[in-house]
Structure 1
Amino acid sequence: MENVVLKGTQNGYEINISDTSNFDSDINEFKNLMEQLSSGKELGNTKQFSFDVFTGNRILTGAQKQELREIVSKYPQMSIRRFMADVVTTSEAYRIRDLNKVSVIGKTIRNGEEVMAKGDVLFCGAIHEGGKLLAGGNVYNLGYVKGIVHAGFPNDEEALVIGNLNDAQQVRIGEQFDIVSDNKDRMSENSRTVIYINDLHTIEYGNLDEIKNISPKFYNRIGGTE
């Protein structure tokens, strides 16, 4: 089996499928490997076996991934954790680019209007009551908000909202939301408020001084140091 190989990594097991071979022949090798693993000779007393599928410079189609999943589904003790490759599709590359850029929005969003941006947003405008700002990433507010701010749209609960939102109607992060007027006592009266999702998956309010503990990932991303 030269084109389909089982390897052990720091994160567990990984099955490497060659990116230069014919996929139909790879399928046959994959089936043989699954049969061999199910016999228990390779894994000893392991009851449940999950693994990643790595394909190097080859991107599997949805149909090819489904074919591999169907083969594995015949063995109840086995499961595919994820598919990985060294390359991404053009559309995925554009999506990653969009999520990592910061859009500067300085317009007025009026009642009934909805403005959507991919990635982070630096907001310098005004949101009237009934207006909505939706961002795929974080929202940094330097403007005036009486409407609704939604960070991490539609379901990213790692996103943050930073700034003064004391007069906002509602703040949303991912699929969670909170009525701001019910929590004004938990917010700073300046632009140092940080709104985030806590470990209980509810919206929490903090201060910029606590950002390292609130979101170590964000702290490192902006070049934070000890």
Structure 2
Amino acid sequence: MVQKQVKQQNVIIKGTKDGLTFVLNDQCAFDDILEELSDKLSERPQPQENDSNVVKIKLVTGKRYLEEQQIEQLQNRFTEQIHAVIDTIDTDVITKHEAEEMRLDNQVSRLARVVRSGQIIEVLGDLLVVGDVNPGGTVKASGNIYVLGSLRGIAHAGMNGNREAIICAGKMNPSQLRIADVIRRPPEGEERTGEEDMECAFVNGENQMELERISKAGIIRPGITDERIG
């Protein structure tokens, strides 16, 4: 008995509570996807003219990289046939620009000098200052900030929205601390002797900033440690 070969599906449609998910074959030609997509969309119920609901589409593309023109072609199909919009694209592929941003976000920039009043230091990734940050000086990083000296100016960690970032200092006496969008200023009348232990600032589960001994930084944010050591 000859078994009938099942034709490979280039487009698989799955319904979810948030909309529709379209899984695209990442091994076939893009034109094949467009053709099969049009056929399958034509089989679905067409929206009524007075229907204002817009269906959200999630594309799952695997190892296929979609260029802007191809995304536009897909969007045109969805708009014309089922009144839907592409909401998210789930892909295993990243662009060179995205890869470079990831590399920069994971690097550590080292600065061995005093950050003086009026100076602004801004980096992608973590920032290590071997020196002081004077009043009026500002240090910013998309990752963590480590000041081995005295932090008396402004420090802004996680500047791209990363609330998991921390700020550590040998002497913590800042004019302002900021992690992502969470800001902490010294309370009125607070006087710090400068004899406190090295401290780290972090955002807790209630989105409030706290100070702790620097020895607890690895417990608060386990991801900052390298498990290959020790």
Taking structure 2 as the reference length, what is the TM-score of the superposition?
0.71
Against the structure 1 CA distance between its residues 213 and 24, is the aligned structure 2 distance closer, same or farther, given a 3 Å change threshold? same
Aligned to 2:3: none
Deviation at 1:71, TM superposition (A): 5.4
Aligned to 1:131: 137
**AA partner of residue 128 (structure 1):** N
Q: Deviations over 1:72-93 (max 9, x none)?
A: 57868x8766323232111111
Matching residue within 4, 9, 27 for 1:2: 9
| Native 8 Å contact 1:166 1:180 kept in 2 | no
Against the structure 1 CA distance between its residues 54 and 104, is the aligned structure 2 distance closer, same or farther, given a 3 Å change threshold? same
**AA partner of residue 207 (structure 2):** H
Matching residue within 148, 170, 173 for 1:167: 173
**AA partner of residue 151 (structure 1):** A
Against the structure 1 CA distance between its residues 215 and 35, is the aligned structure 2 distance closer, same or farther, given a 3 Å change threshold? farther
The answer to whether residue 148 in structure 2 is matched with residue 155 in structure 1 is no
Deviation at 1:69, TM superposition (A): 5.3
The answer to whether residue 229 in structure 2 is matched with residue 222 in structure 1 is no
Deviation at 1:133, TM superposition (A): 0.6
Against the structure 1 CA distance between its residues 178 and 210, is the aligned structure 2 distance closer, same or farther, given a 3 Å change threshold? same
Aligned to 1:104: 110
Deviation at 1:202, TM superposition (A): 2.8
| Native 8 Å contact 1:99 1:118 kept in 2 | yes
Against the structure 1 CA distance between its residues 148 and 104, is the aligned structure 2 distance closer, same or farther, given a 3 Å change threshold? same
Q: Secondary structure at the match of 1:164?
A: strand
**AA partner of residue 33 (structure 2):** D
Against the structure 1 CA distance between its residues 136 and 55, is the aligned structure 2 distance closer, same or farther, given a 3 Å change threshold? same
Matching residue within 31, 37, 60 for 1:54: 60
Against the structure 1 CA distance between its residues 80 and 159, is the aligned structure 2 distance closer, same or farther, given a 3 Å change threshold? farther
In 2, the alpha carbon distance for the partners of 1:2 and 1:188 equals 68
Deviation at 1:117, TM superposition (A): 1.2
**AA partner of residue 120 (structure 2):** E
In 1, the alpha carbon distance for the partners of 2:215 and 2:151 equals 23
**AA partner of residue 87 (structure 1):** V
- Larger mean CA deviation between 64-73 and 51-60 belongs to 64-73
Q: Deviations over 1:45-70 (max 9, x none)?
A: xxxx9775222332223454455456
Against the structure 1 CA distance between its residues 14 and 128, is the aligned structure 2 distance closer, same or farther, given a 3 Å change threshold? same
| Native 8 Å contact 1:106 1:126 kept in 2 | no
Gapped runs of 5+ residues in structure 2?
1-7, 47-54
Against the structure 1 CA distance between its residues 158 and 205, is the aligned structure 2 distance closer, same or farther, given a 3 Å change threshold? same
Q: Which runs of 4+ in 1 moved over 4 A?
A: 31-39, 49-52, 66-76, 78-81, 181-188
Aligned to 1:92: 98
**AA partner of residue 131 (structure 1):** G
Identity of aligned residues (%): 26
In 2, the alpha carbon distance for the partners of 1:161 and 1:204 equals 10
Aligned to 1:143: 149
Against the structure 1 CA distance between its residues 66 and 110, is the aligned structure 2 distance closer, same or farther, given a 3 Å change threshold? farther
Aligned to 2:184: 178
| Native 8 Å contact 1:166 1:181 kept in 2 | no
Gapped runs of 5+ residues in structure 1?
40-48
Matching residue within 209, 212, 220 for 1:206: 212
Taking structure 1 as the reference length, what is the TM-score of the superposition?
0.72
| Native 8 Å contact 1:151 1:159 kept in 2 | yes
Pairwise CA RMSD = 3.7
**AA partner of residue 176 (structure 1):** V
In 1, the alpha carbon distance for the partners of 2:32 and 2:189 equals 61
